[in-house]
Chains A and B, each alone.
Chain A
Amino acid sequence: MSDVAEQVTNPMGPGRTDLGPSERVFRRDETSAVLRLSEAEAAVLAGGADDPPTGDVADQRMILNMGPSHPSTHGVLRLMLEMEGEAILRSKPVIGYLHTGMEKTAENLTYLQGPTNVTRMDYAAPLFSELAFSLAVEQLLGLEVPTRATWIRMLMCELNRVSSHLLFQATNGMDLGAVSMMIYGWREREEVLRFFEKVTGLRMNHNYIRPGGVAADLPDGWQADVRRLLELIPPRLDEYDTLLTGQPIFRGRLQGVGVITPAEALALSATGPILRSTGYAWDLRRDQPYLAYDEVEFDVIVGTHGDSFDRYAIRQNEIRESLRIVEQILDLMPAGDYRVQDKKVTPPPRARIDESMEALIHHFKIFTEGFHVPQGETYAAVESPRGELGCYLVSDGGPKPYRMHIRGPSFVNLQTLPHLMEGGLIADGVAVISSVDPIMGEVDR
Chain B
Amino acid sequence: MTDPAAVGADTDEAAGGPTGPTAWGVPVTESFGQVVLHPPVDRWFETVAACRDDGYVMAIDLTAVDYSAHPGRTDLPEGVGAERFEVVASLLSHATGGRLRLRTQVPESNPEVASLFDLYPGTEAMEREAWDLVGVAFSGHPDHTRILMPEDWEGHPLRRDVSMGRIPVQFRDAPPAR
A392 to chain B, nearest CB (A): 6
Known: A269-B60, A379-B101, A407-B60. A101 touches B151 (CB 8 A): no
B126→A397 contact, CB < 8 A: no
A95 an interface residue at 8 Å Cβ cutoff? yes
Q: Give complex CA distance A287, B1 in Å.
A: 13
A8 an interface residue at 8 Å Cβ cutoff? yes
Residues of A within 8 A of B34 (CB): 378-379
A267 an interface residue at 8 Å Cβ cutoff? yes
Which among B121, B126, B157, B165 is the interface contact of A26 at CB below 8 angstroms?
B121
Q: Give complex CA distance A411, B60 in Å.
A: 11
B63 to chain A, nearest CB (A): 4
Residues of B within 8 A of A95 (CB): 147-148
B121→A25 contact, CB < 8 A: yes
A99→B121 contact, CB < 8 A: no
A375→B74 contact, CB < 8 A: yes
Interface SS majority for chain B? loop
Q: Give complex CA distance A10, B165 in Å.
A: 49
A412 an interface residue at 8 Å Cβ cutoff? yes
* Residue from B61, B66, B118 whose CB has the most chain A CB atoms within 10 Å: B61
Q: Sample 5 A-B pairs with CB under 8 A, ordered by A number.
A: A268-B121, A288-B97, A381-B60, A415-B125, A445-B148
- A37-48 CB mask vs B (1 if < 8 Å, else 0) is 011100000000
Q: Give complex CA distance A414, B143 in Å.
A: 15
A266 an interface residue at 8 Å Cβ cutoff? yes
A334 an interface residue at 8 Å Cβ cutoff? no
A198 to chain B, nearest CB (A): 34
Residues of A within 8 A of B32 (CB): 139-140, 376, 378
Q: Give complex CA distance A445, B57 in Å.
A: 26
Q: Give complex CA distance A145, B121 in Å.
A: 38
Q: Give complex CA distance A396, B88 in Å.
A: 17
Nearest 10 pairs of A and B residues by beta carbon? A269-B122, A96-B148, A36-B143, A407-B61, A268-B122, A99-B148, A28-B142, A405-B63, A25-B121, A403-B65
Given contacts A103-B158, A407-B61, 13 further A-B pairs with CB under 8 A are A8-B95, A9-B96, A96-B149, A99-B148, A108-B164, A378-B31, A379-B99, A390-B90, A392-B63, A411-B129, A414-B125, A415-B124, A445-B148
Which among A9, A101, A405 is the interface contact of B61 at CB below 8 angstroms?
A405
Known: A9-B95, A40-B151, A104-B164. A379 touches B121 (CB 8 A): no
Known: A376-B31, A390-B61. A8 touches B122 (CB 8 A): no
Known: A103-B133, A104-B164, A392-B90. A397 touches B71 (CB 8 A): yes
B22 an interface residue at 8 Å Cβ cutoff? no
B81 to chain A, nearest CB (A): 18
Q: Give complex CA distance A30, B96 in Å.
A: 37
Residues of B within 8 A of A377 (CB): 31, 75, 88
- A87-125 CB mask vs B (1 if < 8 Å, else 0) is 000000001100101011100100000000000000000
- Closest residue on chain A to residue B71 by CB atoms: A396
B59 an interface residue at 8 Å Cβ cutoff? yes
Interface residues in A375-424 by Cβ distance below 8 A to B read: 375-379, 381, 388, 390, 392, 394, 396-397, 402-403, 405, 407, 411-412, 414-415
B24 to chain A, nearest CB (A): 19
- Closest residue on chain A to residue B126 by CB atoms: A412
Residues of B within 8 A of A390 (CB): 60-61, 90
